[in-house]
Amino acid sequence: MTKFVSRKIRRKSGARLAAVQATYMIAYGQLPVDEVIKDFTEGKVGRYVIEEDNISESEELIEISPIDKEYFEHLVRGVHSKKQELEKSLSHYLKGDWTLDRMDGTMQSLLLCAVYELSNTLDVDTKVLIQEYVDLAYAFYTKNEPKMVNALLDQIAHAIRE
């Protein structure tokens, strides 16, 4: 049973990563939602990540574990259908130099997926969701961005989940 749960959790984590990537592709590649979802679920895109070895200064393509395709599609369609509402909500919580317009597309996509899940996937624990998206932020960024994601999602979660 533990092995099954572990695989299920990894598939949902993979779905979140893929959803961030797909959300980015839809927004910045101006690609149709159905086409992007099909490409991911059929394994045409999103199957590999680049792992960097800082010691040897080399890169290697690593195949990621399978994703929860239903969960992935739920996230992507949900973010796409509620994008304006999610952007408005995010803008309300962002302070100082952290404005949605000034963030790169990857960060925007990550935050849109996170806020969608926090507000629409109430069966997943808040701390788990926040940690998943902070981990994703660390996959893309190395400076202050993951800390900002943590603080922002914590603030939003307190406001919408309590």
pLDDT of 25 strictly over 80? yes
33-72 pLDDT per residue, tens: 999 999 989 888 876 666 677 677 777 766 667 889 999 9
Determine how many CB atoms are found less than 10 A away from the CB of residue 154: 14
Higher pLDDT, 11 or 32: 32
Residue 1 binned pLDDT confidence (cut-offs 50, 70, 90): very low
Is residue 46 within 8 A of residue 22, CB to CB? The reply is: yes
- CATH fold of 2-161 reads N-utilizing Substance Protein B Homolog; Chain A (1.10.940)
Run of H or E including 127: helix 126-140
pLDDT of 75 strictly over 50? yes
Which residues does 1 contact at the CB level (< 8 Å), separation at least 6? none
Query: Can you give the residue ranges of every domain in the chain?
Result: 2-161
* Phi, psi angle pair for 63, to nearest 5°: -75, 130
